[in-house]
Amino acid sequence: MKQVNLKVNGIPVTVDAGTRILDAARKVGVNIPTLCYLKDVTNQGSCRMCVVEVVGAKNLVTSCFATVREGMEVLTNTPKVLASRKTTLELILSNHDQKCLSCVRSTNCELQKLALEYGCDSYKYQGEKNHYEIDDSNPYLIRDNNKCILCRRCVAVCDKIQSVNAIGANNRGFKTEIGSVFGHKLNETGCVACGQCIKVCPVGALYEKDDTDRVMKAILDPDKFVIVGTAPAVRVGVGEEFGYPIGTDVQGKMVTACRRLGFDKVFDVNMTADLTIMEEGNELISRLGDKNAKLPMITSCSPGWINFIETFYPDLLDHLSTCKSPQQMFGAVMKTYYAEKFGIDPAKMVVVTVMPCTAKKTEVLREHHKASGYPDVDITITTREFARLLKRHSIDLRNLEESEFDDPIGTGSSAGNLFGTTGGVMEAALRTVAAVVNGRNLDKLDFKKVRGMDGIREATVKLDNGVTVNVAVAHSLSNARKLMDEIRAGKSKYQFIEVMACPGGCLNGGGQPIVPSEVLNNVDVKALRAKAIYDKDKKAEIRQCHENPVMKTLYKDYFGKPNSHKAHEVLHTTYSAQHKL
């Protein structure tokens, strides 16, 4: 690659030709503020916060868009540049509701931070303001365009990363607003509830529906037995809300925090991730041995993905595993097996889950997910809501001792914990499928080919019975779409596919802590959270789902064997086409 030499604020730097000025500046520790630019998502140069002076150029240059030239001299903090950025911010504020005190993003808002740094006068430009109706038409996400700064990051992530295209810019000029086609509400569109738009929004214009009051109402009701289950990715995310470095596993403190909130029992959804593998792994083995069965079989644990395939590929629903997700299996097991074993009336049981995911809020409402006759899961909250709930109750993770999940079904294997990252379900499944078919555990449990952050990864596994299994892993829905198009065209070479809707998998789910673009543009947040998950796996005693002693108990006492009639009644589901715009 051709190299280019330039100076940024007088500091020499050499970069590849084609590098953006913004990235060249970062290389020598010069940070340029942005509001619309987001690495790997968008660089449309519309907000004009990243303007810089280039010596010799007449006008300011947008550094997220313009690329370097040999001999270029870039100045990032001249009075002209600072004045331009300040005016940009004050113009944004002139059409912004500025209700910072009660805004969900206050103290984690990119606009608020920059307005403070640039010493903005919030009321410098007074005039007409737009007033928008809030869109709260769905169970997972609220859009408040009164706070929108039209950066279009949400549009880019929905289009480029998720290939859903549920939102875009409507109208023109001062009346421009972000919304769905023809002004429809989000629940009328093909939106899959992934929440990735919330994650990239720099301000408080997009946020999850808050179910924390419902949780506390249940906890405070003496007539209710309230159980909480936490997903794998939550423990490597929630610490960030309390000042821990990105990728810190705070499992023990998280469990203590749940107890302090007043839950009657605190269990680990890793346990039902193990159960998912028991069911799904055996389902795969049975499909591999049946020449009439639909292959490739595709995982079904990601509700954003299920919403996507039901909306965009309804003709491929037979390829999905019939397993409910670990969250739904968790609720189903609690209200059937656990309720029976401990003599608790499922009508009085409230199952709460803490999830990295906004789409889970759609999953709990699925019609057929009522193994006990009552909804498997009653309330699901995101990692962010969980942190908010703790802060409201003055529970600071940093001040807590660690504790263990409750017995008797609190144990999960580290393979179940791998569900928190892209490739994790596949790796957990391959460990168990190989052990079941080969009649012995593998010597090496790590499947490194399915790890990492490439959009689509593949591997081939040879089993002792002579069967070769080609597998693929896709994360983010634009990558899933490529694999689905292959299946539709009859060109898929795989027998088993894992799909997670969110980029990086659940660890970067739509409900995880929001990381400002200043950090996202410089740090690989997904890799750091994934490392925490793999580190736990390296050190764990139980690294395979089928070795979790809880599985043995569950099958001995209740389900009989994987894919039994009873297991199908409680742990499996069906899918149907979603007809949306």
CB 284 within 8 A of CB 484: no
51 in contact with ligand SF4 (CB under 6 A) = no
If one asks whether residue 103 binds ligand SF4 (CB under 6 A), the answer comes out as: yes
How far CA 506 is from CA of 233, 241, 357, 526, in Å, comes to 6, 17, 7, 10
Select the span of 150-158, 342-350, 365-373, 555-563 touching ligand SF4 (CB under 6 A): 150-158
Residue 389 interacting with ligand SF4 (CB under 6 A):
no
CA dist 62 and 48 (Å) reads 6
Residue 112 or residue 270: which is nearer to ligand SF4 going by CB?
Answer: 112
Any contact of residue 47 with ligand SF4 (CB under 6 A)? no
Report yes or no: 27 and 4 within 8 Å, Cβ to Cβ: no
Q: Is the peptide bond before 408 cis (omega within 30 degrees of 0)?
A: yes
Shorter beta-carbon distance to ligand SF4: residue 200 or 472: 200
Q: Which of residues 8, 13, 25, 109 is near ligand SF4 by CB under 6 A?
A: 109
Would you state the structure tokens that stand for residue 233, as one six-digit string? 């990715």
The answer to the question of residue 142 lying near ligand SF4 (CB under 6 A) is no
Checking phi first, is residue 457 left (phi over 0); if not, alpha (psi -120 to 50) or beta?
beta
Of 417, 238, 258, 271, the C-alpha closest to 352 is 258
Q: What is the spatial distance between Cα 499 and Cα 148, in angstroms, rounded to a whole number?
A: 31
Terminal CA-CA length for the chain: 45
Which one of the spans 153-161, 443-451, 464-472, 526-534 is the region binding ligand SF4 (CB under 6 A)? 153-161
**CB closer to ligand SF4 out of 99 and 561:** 99
Member of 30, 32, 52, 158 binding ligand SF4 (CB under 6 A): 158
Q: How far is the CB of 385 from ligand SF4 (least distance, A)?
A: 16
- Verify binding: residue 147, ligand SF4, rule CB under 6 A: yes
**By the rule CB under 6 A, 167 interacts with ligand SF4:** yes
* DSSP percent split of the chain into helix, strand, coil, nearest 5: 40, 15, 45
- DSSP tag of 300: -
**Is there binding between residue 149 and ligand SF4 (CB under 6 A)?**
yes
349-355 and 496-500 strand pairing: unpaired
- 99/124 with CB nearer ligand SF4: 99
Distances (CA, A) of 93 to 62, 112, 270, 309, 416: 21, 10, 45, 40, 46
Long-range contacts at 405-408 (CB < 8 A, ≥ 24 apart): 405/255, 405/266, 405/267, 405/268, 406/265, 406/266, 406/267, 408/550, 408/553
State the DSSP string of 224-245.
-EEEEEE-HHHHTTGGGGGTPP
Q: Quick one: which of 24, 151, 285, 425 contacts ligand SF4 (CB under 6 A)?
A: 151
Looking at beta carbons only, is 127 or 373 nearer to ligand SF4? 127
- The answer to whether residue 506 forms part of the interface with ligand SF4 (CB under 6 A) is no
Answer for which of 85, 86, 96, 361 binds ligand SF4 (CB under 6 A) is 96
504 binds ligand SF4 (CB under 6 A): no
Does position 100 interact with ligand SF4 (CB under 6 A)? The reply is yes
Pick between residue 153 and residue 536 the one whose CB is nearest to ligand SF4: 153
Options 52-60, 151-159, 291-299, 568-576: segment touching ligand SF4 (CB under 6 A) = 151-159
Q: CB nearer to ligand SF4: give 109 or 484.
A: 109
Rounded Cα distance, 376 and 337, in Å: 12
Rule CB under 6 A: choose which of 51, 157, 389, 472 binds ligand SF4. 157
Count residues contacting ligand SF4 (CB under 6 A)? 40
Helix axes 303-312, 477-488, angle to 10 degrees: 40
105 scored as a contact of ligand SF4 (CB under 6 A): yes
x-or-dash pattern for ligand SF4, window 190-229, by CB under 6 A? -xxxxxxx--xxxxxxx-----------------------
Please state, in angstroms and rounded to a whole number, the distance separating the CA atoms of residues 275 and 284. Answer: 14
Residue 112, Cβ density class (10 Å: 0-12 exposed, 13-18 middle, ≥19 buried): buried
Nearer to ligand SF4 among residue 47 and residue 437 (C-beta): 47
390 touching ligand SF4, by CB under 6 A:
no
554 exposed, middle or buried (CB, 10 Å; 0-12, 13-18, 19+)? buried
Nearer to ligand SF4, 175 or 491 (CB): 175
| CB distance 508 to 529 below 8 Å | yes
Structure-token pair, residue 28:
């020598």
Among 20, 85, 86, 153, binds ligand SF4 (CB under 6 A): 153
Least CB distance from residue 517 to ligand SF4, whole Å?
11
Residue with tokens 């959009």: 455
Task: Say which DSSP state 186 is in.
Answer: G
Contact (Cβ atoms closer than 8 angstroms) between residue 146 and residue 96? yes
The smaller minimum CB distance to ligand SF4, of residues 191 and 266, is found at 191
DSSP string, 315-366: GGGGGB--BPPHHHHHHHHIIIIIHHHHT--GGGEEEEEEES-STHHHHTT-
Nearest distance in Å: CB 209, ligand SF4: 12
Give the residue, chosen from 19, 63, 88, 112, that forms a contact with ligand SF4 under the rule CB under 6 A.
Answer: 112
The stretch among 128-136, 146-154, 514-522, 571-579 that binds ligand SF4 (CB under 6 A) is: 146-154
Whole-number Å distance between alpha carbons of 291 and 288: 7
- Of the ranges 17-25, 185-193, 208-216, 414-422, which one interacts with ligand SF4 (CB under 6 A)? 185-193
Interface with ligand SF4 by CB under 6 A: which range of 98-106, 372-380, 430-438, 541-549?
A: 98-106
47 vs 430 by CB, closer to ligand SF4: 47
Q: What are phi and psi of 510, to 5 degrees?
A: -65, -10
Closer by beta carbon to ligand SF4, 125 or else 342: 125
Cβ distance to ligand SF4 smaller for residue 370 or 580: 580
| Nearest one of 423, 198, 392 to 301, comparing CA atoms | 423
Interface with ligand SF4 (CB under 6 A), residue from 74, 164, 371, 450: 164
Nearest distance in Å: CB 259, ligand SF4: 32
Question: Given the rule CB under 6 A, which residues bind ligand SF4?
Answer: 96, 98-100, 103, 105-106, 109, 111-112, 141, 147-154, 157-158, 162, 164, 166-167, 178, 191-197, 200-206
